[in-house]
Structure 1
Amino acid sequence: MMAFTLEQLNQRVLERAGASPDESYTARLIAKGVERCAQKLGEEAVEAAIAAATGNKAGLAAEAGDVLFHLLVLLRAGDVSLDAVMEDLQSRTAQSGLAEKASRQEGRQ
């Protein structure tokens, strides 16, 4: 079985974003705006966290899928490409996670 990739999911989101909101949940969600997309991502993230905290592995897997999907929808609604996210993540691999986090906190002060 071939693995389904994040890039393939992203391509589906991009395709469905261009459909009619009457025919596509993705298009309907995007039509409601960035704020609604962000709210939906937050709801799914909380559900994933609850599944993890309660040891519900199947629930966590399902909710993680919802989180990834809704993150991609939010990125589309916010006009941010998955490539931009991946480039940012790649740039962070040049240093340890602790050093990278510390540098972000210093920049906020």
Structure 2
Amino acid sequence: MTYRVVCDENLEPQVVRYLGKQGHEAVYVPDVLEKGVSDAEIARYARGNSYAVLTNDTDFLDDDRFPELKVLYYGSLQDSAYEIAEAVDEAGEYFPEHESLPQVLWLD
């Protein structure tokens, strides 16, 4: 199981590196869009490229605002980049395919 993940800029960029080491395809918002880009632009990019959004931003939890967007929500920024990447990897045990992910998956 591997996911395609776009990591919001509210996460440490090291999360992308750890996800890559685990076999996931991960990109960082400031690297593929621009720093400070709107949530709507992130959602458009994610949907257009079949990515789930890994974020700590509660705005992405609004399924009326972001329909058909897969969101991996990590509520605590106190954990290390490694721990956040591990939580994403562990989700694969329960949701082995991108398509099987619920619209919002709470990771912590």
Q: Same fold (TM over 0.5)?
A: no
More strand as a share of residues: 2
Q: Highest relative contact order (Cα 8 Å, sep 6+), 1 or 2?
A: 2
Pair member with larger Rg? 1
- TM-score, scaled to structure 2: 0.30
- TM-score, scaled to structure 1: 0.29
